[in-house]
Structure 1
Amino acid sequence: MISAEHYGFQHTADADHTWLESLQFPVVVPEAHLYALCYINVRPTLGVMWNQVMVCGTLTESRSDLLHYNENHFLPAPADFLAIDSPLGLRIRALDAPREFRIDYAHPDGTEIHVDWTGLMDPFDIHDPAQSPQAGIADDLHSDVRGGTGHVDMTGRVTGTLTVRGRTHEVYSLDRMDRSWGPRHPMKTRNMFIVSVAAEPDLAFHMICPWEPDLAGTDAIRLMHGFVYDGGEVRGLVEKARIEARHHGMLCTGLDMEVHDVHGRRYDLHAVPDIGAPWIAGPSAMTHNALMRFTVDGRPGYGRVLKNYSLPYLNARRGRFHDEPTAAVYV
């Protein structure tokens, strides 16, 4: 059972330089086609913190099209992971961990985020068999080792304001935050899809999906861990699933998912593009981070789709010498 203590630093005395502690808080305004992301990544044994804040308002394959981007890899680590004051301008407080958080951010260009995050469920522990049917069977895609790691996801209600380029928007969304800890090698990120979906007011999903880009159709993506939050009840999703994505370069241009919970109920989810941009979530993580328009059994919704390529995977297939031909054709 995840408690408040799991949101403090988890590293032990023998942890080495690969040990990582992270938090991710998205802030979306679907009706305004806006997606902000606050990411905290700490290497506690090294005493350093990496922060990112980005705001996206269009569909692009270039970070140059973002409305706001602020990043620093070389910040002092906080003394307390439950009370983060970053020189980047980001302030995070655990008001009542593990469910209640406050996020404040202010930048000289006028970009501001001021939101309360209230969890609607107990954090979903992918390593707990009582929550995830695949616990102890499937890998933790967020880590490159087995054992000694942690990863939790939590659907919550996000309320407050997002200001960018002189426009202030009310935030009232249903979304998913996450918390990870454990050894993580920066060059061992895997190919994967991470999908979080909301159909207001009380239906939400989260799916962690390994992806094999060399395969086609429904053979390429599997369901490893996930849950459905349905009317206040949380149920794990089973491995049985049918998932198919469509692509254009880095972009996910369509996603169809048939998933089943532990009670045998089936859900059909379909997504089309809205906005999104590249996100470099780590040295080897080539991610397109999108807010897509969903339907869930016919209900309208929205959701975040993180399509991640492993850079070593891409290098192995695309790396070439100057005298080798490229497959690209320009007309």
Structure 2
Amino acid sequence: MITAADYKFHERDSTDDTWTETVFQIFSVPELGISGNIYVLTRPNLGVCHCSIEIHQGLCMHPWQLHHNDSQMHMRCPEDFSDFTLPNGLTFKAHSEREQEWSYTSRDGLCSLELKSSAVCDPTDARDPNQVPQASNGEVKGYAGWNNGHLEGKSRVVGTLKLRDKSYTIDCIEGVNKSWGPRNDWGNKGASWIHVDLGEDLTAFLVLDLDIEGRQVRYGSLKYGYVLVGGERRPLLSGEMTATRSDMLVTSAKVRFEDDQGDVYEAVGQTIAAGPWYNFNPSSVGYQCLLRWTSGDRVGHSHIADFVGQYYLSLSMADDLYD
């Protein structure tokens, strides 16, 4: 069960240099095709942290096309991960497990954010079999990071974005994530975080395996997830997705998933914003795409984030060496 204390640093072996705690918030302005995120990665035993704030509009095929990309590392780790200010201009406060607040002004003053994040359901604990049937023995197969500690949530995010000489109002349903535990960050794996929003009373979250075969991305089995139906959270028992893409960025997707009551959902998504995010973590890249989802007469907007280790990309995509 997730509590407010999970936004603080957790008890840990003080000699473990790989201990990592992160917090991640997505936001968007769907009507203008604006997609953004805030990510903070800390190594409390080493006393350092890394932070990335990334914003793009429309289809950005290359990193240099992103509209704001502030990534700074080797800053001093905060004492309290639930209430801190970093030298890059980011302030964060977790009022509870359901309420968080973000403020950011870039060093040159060209970008600023004021965001409040309010959960639309209790955050999911990936280790709790009452919330995640796939964790029947307290562990989800496939990635140790989920089993150290992983909070997954959906929030209504409201606030303002100022970028260069323009201002935008933010009011969206988007994902929030908090993790903790030992992590080597070797970059040898891939996985996809998928949010499917179909209006106020129907929204879902899935984690799928991601593999690269013959230089083509393939989405594998459901690791875990849930659907929120009229305010009721139901765990997912199965899920699958196919997608078209340009380079590594999803341009369209079809998703199907089934909850624990036997109800099956299908949706089709068309990308309205996409960007390659190569610096949220030196070991990995995030291909974040904002989609317009439809299912019958239902319409909504939310994100796919394909996270792929750069080591895995080299193994799977690079040309053969020549003599």
User: Above 0.5 in TM-score?
Assistant: yes
* Distance in 1 separating the partners of 2:142 and 2:102: 27
- Return 5+ residue gaps in structure 1 as ranges: 325-331
Structure (1/2) with the larger strand percentage: 2
**Aligned in 2, Cα 1:229/1:122: closer, same or farther, shift over 3 Å?**
same
Measured after TM superposition, the shift of residue 320 of structure 1 is 4.9
Determine the structure 2 residue equivalent to 1:270.
268
Question: Over residues 2-59 of structure 1, what are the superposed CA-to-partner deviations in whole Å (9 max), with x where a residue is unaligned?
Answer: 1111111014134511110000011211011111211110000000010001111121
* Distance in 2 separating the partners of 1:80 and 1:52: 19
Measured after TM superposition, the shift of residue 198 of structure 1 is 1.9
Determine the structure 2 residue equivalent to 1:2.
2
Equivalent residue letter for 1:17: D
Equivalent residue letter for 1:223: L
Equivalent residue letter for 2:276: P
CA RMSD of aligned residues (A): 2.2
Determine the structure 1 residue equivalent to 2:253.
255
Do the aligned residues in 1 keep the contact of 2:9 with 2:21 (CA within 8 Å)? yes
**Aligned in 2, Cα 1:318/1:266: closer, same or farther, shift over 3 Å?**
closer
Determine the structure 2 residue equivalent to 1:139.
141
Equivalent residue letter for 2:206: M
TM normalised by structure 1 equals 0.90
Do the aligned residues in 2 keep the contact of 1:291 with 1:303 (CA within 8 Å)? yes
Measured after TM superposition, the shift of residue 197 of structure 1 is 2.2
Determine the structure 2 residue equivalent to 1:288.
287
Determine the structure 1 residue equivalent to 2:164.
165
Q: Which structure 2 residues correspond to residues 3-152 of structure 1 after superposition, within 5 A?
A: 3-95=3-95, 97-107=96-106, 108-135=108-135, 136=138, 138-139=140-141, 141=143, 143=145, 147=147, 149-152=148-151
**Aligned in 2, Cα 1:321/1:258: closer, same or farther, shift over 3 Å?**
closer
Measured after TM superposition, the shift of residue 252 of structure 1 is 1.1
Do the aligned residues in 2 keep the contact of 1:132 with 1:236 (CA within 8 Å)? yes
TM normalised by structure 2 equals 0.92
Provide the identity percentage: 26
Do the aligned residues in 2 keep the contact of 1:174 with 1:200 (CA within 8 Å)? no
* Segment drifting more, 54-63 vs 9-18: 9-18
Measured after TM superposition, the shift of residue 218 of structure 1 is 11
Aligned length: 319
Determine the structure 2 residue equivalent to 1:195.
194
- Return 5+ residue gaps in structure 2 as ranges: none
Measured after TM superposition, the shift of residue 219 of structure 1 is 6.9
Secondary structure class of the residue paired with 2:211: coil
Secondary structure class of the residue paired with 2:93: strand
**Aligned in 2, Cα 1:154/1:15: closer, same or farther, shift over 3 Å?**
farther
Measured after TM superposition, the shift of residue 84 of structure 1 is 1.4
Secondary structure class of the residue paired with 1:121: coil
Measured after TM superposition, the shift of residue 192 of structure 1 is 1.6
Secondary structure class of the residue paired with 2:129: coil
* Distance in 2 separating the partners of 1:180 and 1:140: 16
